[in-house]
């Protein structure tokens, strides 16, 4: 590698457009690898991060955004696992900023990808797929057979439809538009409710009662959390895992006190920290196996790095059309 500098997108101030700039190429430490980034998706978590909603987690600008992606490992910082990854094509997450020509990731958060998987296909291999795998484990542990899911036409929602169905779990999918109903039908979903239909709440209540659906995965939060929970059987749990509404979840105390409903958070990071090394290994194996089928993402558009801000704006307005990728090597 001749250059010591690379191009990147930089968040200089929360809520401000990204700057396209040149910085030093980071150097991997022990157990880490340097990756030449080929593709990185924009996820809702990136939008929250850019808006400053993750500031409480200790992120301080200037910062290179992008939490996951795919690329080629070109340098090891030392250690058996990192050395093994040298010259391998990988998907990665928890990196030091994927919206850049190069990034650093821990060798343990890299997954070698098969030769027949493109960098574009591999770019979203971690965050959504692993979250869906974790959700299924949570459902199995609770011995529940049917779950409710909001914002179900998301990339994650489409994976859930395929993966849960193939594991014998029924999903009551909630969307907000008719075109999203059609998207999910194509994925093989059998129960799809439009939250803007007049009879949405009675329909939901009947289904959750008939199917004893006691788990709700909520990507929206706000008042929706409590509104859906109020239609579910006693002793149901809402796992809030996204905040697409940008509002705090609210639930009537009556639901909590007299019907034993509960609200918990669900996060990929917390789930990964809570599981055994064996389950983690099995989950990563599932990812590798299912990334072209159950756990795949559709890609709607790709942008070169210098047009990253345009990519963010396009994605914010077209979330249901598929993943938007940033391509740092264009």
Q: Which of 147, 228, 268, 312 is close enough to bind ligand NAP by CB under 6 A?
A: 268
Tokens encoding 63: 């910062």
Q: Which of residues 70-89 bind ligand NAP (CB under 6 A)?
A: none
Q: Of 62-70, 148-156, 225-233, 250-258, which part binds ligand NAP (CB under 6 A)?
A: 148-156
Q: Which of 34, 244, 291, 295 is close enough to bind ligand NAP by CB under 6 A?
A: 244
Would you call 99 exposed, middle or buried from its count of C-beta atoms within 10 A (0-12, 13-18, 19+)? buried
Which residues, in sequence order, are CB contacts of 263 under 8 Å at separation 6+? 225, 229, 237, 238, 240, 249, 251, 256
In 11-52, the DSSP E strands lie at 19-24, 32-41
* Position closest to ligand NAP via CB: 242
Told to check if 176 binds ligand NAP by CB under 6 A, we report: yes
Which residues, in sequence order, are CB contacts of 253 under 8 Å at separation 6+? none
Q: How far is the CB of 80 from ligand NAP (least distance, A)?
A: 29
Query: What is the DSSP code (8-state) at residue 55?
Result: G
Query: Is the separation of the CB atoms in 122 and 287 below 8 Å?
Result: no
Residue 130, classed as helix, strand or coil, is helix
Q: How far is the CB of 45 from ligand NAP (least distance, A)?
A: 5
Told to check if 40 binds ligand NAP by CB under 6 A, we report: no
Told to check if 219 binds ligand NAP by CB under 6 A, we report: yes
Q: Which of 155, 213, 263, 290 is close enough to bind ligand NAP by CB under 6 A?
A: 155
**Partners of 298 in the beta sheet?**
none
Q: Of 14-22, 88-96, 115-123, 260-268, which part binds ligand NAP (CB under 6 A)?
A: 260-268
Q: Which of 25, 319, 325, 326 is close enough to bind ligand NAP by CB under 6 A?
A: 319
**Partners of 309 in the beta sheet?**
none
Per CB under 6 A, residues contacting ligand NAP are 43-45, 127-128, 131, 151, 153-156, 176-177, 219-220, 241-242, 244-245, 266-268, 319-320
């Amino acid at each position: 590698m001749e250059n010591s500098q690379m191009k990147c997108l930089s968040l200089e101030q929360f809520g401000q457009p990204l700057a396209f700039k040149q910085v030093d190429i980071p150097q991997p430490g022990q157990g880490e690898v340097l990756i030449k980034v080929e593709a990185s998706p924009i996820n809702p978590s990136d939008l929250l991060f850019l808006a400053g909603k993750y500031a409480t987690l200790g992120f301080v600008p200037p910062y290179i955004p992008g939490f996951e992606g795919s690329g080629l490992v070109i340098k090891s910082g030392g250690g058996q696992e990192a050395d093994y990854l040298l010259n391998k094509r990988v998907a990665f997450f928890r990196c030091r900023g994927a919206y850049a020509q190069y990034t650093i990731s821990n060798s343990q958060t890299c997954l070698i990808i098969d030769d027949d998987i493109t960098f574009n296909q591999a770019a979203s291999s971690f965050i959504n797929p692993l979250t869906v795998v974790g959700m299924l484990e949570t459902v199995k542990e609770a011995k529940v057979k049917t779950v409710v899911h909001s914002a179900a036409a998301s990339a994650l929602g489409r994976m859930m439809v395929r993966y849960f169905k193939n594991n014998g779990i029924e999903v009551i999918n909630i969307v907000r538009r008719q075109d999203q109903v059609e998207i999910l039908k194509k994925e093989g979903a059998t129960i799809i409710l439009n939250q803007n239909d007049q009879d949405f709440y009675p329909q939901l209540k009947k289904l959750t009662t008939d199917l004893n659906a006691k788990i709700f995965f909520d990507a929206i939060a706000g008042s929706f959390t409590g509104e859906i929970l109020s239609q579910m059987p006693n002793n149901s749990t809402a796992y809030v895992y996204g905040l697409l509404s940008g509002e705090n979840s609210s639930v009537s105390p009556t639901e909590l006190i007299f019907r034993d409903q509960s609200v918990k958070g669900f996060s990929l990071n917390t789930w990964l920290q809570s599981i055994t090394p064996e389950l983690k290994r099995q989950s990563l194996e599932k990812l590798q196996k299912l990334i072209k089928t159950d756990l795949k993402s559709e890609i709607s558009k790709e942008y070169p790095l210098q047009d990253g801000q345009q990519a963010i704006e396009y994605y914010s307005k077209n979330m249901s059309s598929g993943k938007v990728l940033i391509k740092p090597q264009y």
